[in-house]
Amino acid sequence: MKKAKRPVADDEMRPEYRASDFPAGFVRGKFVKRLQERSNVVVLDPEVTDVFPNAASVNAALRALAEIARRTAPARRRSR
């Protein structure tokens, strides 16, 4: 015979766990904000991934574009 499942609220711990099983400073999602700020993941559209199949090809194209932009940018004048 199976046990009847009872709904568990998000903030309620299941009876088989004790609070002493977890460290006192345990906070869920503690580092999420820092990860999002420092993350360098870029999601490409599907039509772009057809042209650039891997990270190396994307980086090569961006380096070439940056070099073109650097060469064609007008020279900056120094302020006196």
pLDDT-above-70 percentage for the chain: 85
Q: Which pTM does this prediction carry? A: 0.46
Q: Where are the domains of the chain?
A: 45-73
List CB contacts of 58: < 8 A, sequence separation 6 or more. Answer: 44, 52
Cα separations in angstroms, 47 against 42, 43, 44, 80: 15, 12, 8, 48
Q: Under 8 Å CB-to-CB from 48, ≥6 apart: which residues?
A: none
Counting as low any pLDDT under 70, the low residues of the chain are 1, 6-11, 77-80
Between CA 13 and CA 23, with CA 18 as vertex, the angle to 5 degrees is 100
